[in-house]
């Protein structure tokens, strides 16, 4: 099936999906900020960042573009770290800080 479509066209579609996910994060942030009437970054922003960044990294690896690979890989570290902070904050809010017994 993939051979009939062509690997280049499939990877081009993957690249566009990644770009759409990555761009979608700005729409999420804009809507959330408009609702709050102040600048905020919702958790979904970071989820879209990781999903779009990972998809674009796969595309960049396929294209063998070292500049694009470096940029997306570095971004994924930052996005993942922010998700870690969000999850840690939720866990602390639920369980309380360690040693608070």
33-82 pLDDT, tens digit each: 999 998 889 899 999 999 999 999 999 999 999 999 999 999 999 999 99
CB 55 within 8 A of CB 18: yes
pLDDT, position 61: 96
pLDDT, position 2: 59
- Global pTM reads 0.76
Sequence-ordered list of residues with C-beta below 8 angstroms from that of 86, at least 6 positions apart, any chain: 43, 46
pLDDT, position 3: 66
Query: What confidence tens digit (pLDDT) does each residue in 3-44 have?
Result: 667 888 999 999 999 899 988 888 999 999 999 998 889 899
- % of residues, the chain, pLDDT over 90: 61
Query: Which has the closest alpha carbon to 41: 55, 61, 27, 20?
Result: 27
């Amino acid at each position: 099936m993939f051979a009939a479509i062509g690997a280049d066209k499939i990877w081009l579609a993957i690249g566009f999906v990644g770009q759409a996910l990555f761009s979608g994060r700005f729409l999420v942030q804009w809507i959330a900020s408009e609702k709050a009437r102040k600048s905020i970054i919702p958790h979904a922003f970071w989820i879209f960042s990781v999903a779009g960044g990972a998809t674009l990294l796969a595309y960049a690896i396929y294209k063998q573009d070292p500049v694009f690979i470096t940029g997306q890989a570095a971004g994924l570290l930052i996005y993942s770290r922010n998700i870690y902070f969000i999850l840690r904050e939720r866990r602390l809010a639920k369980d309380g800080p360690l040693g608070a017994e």
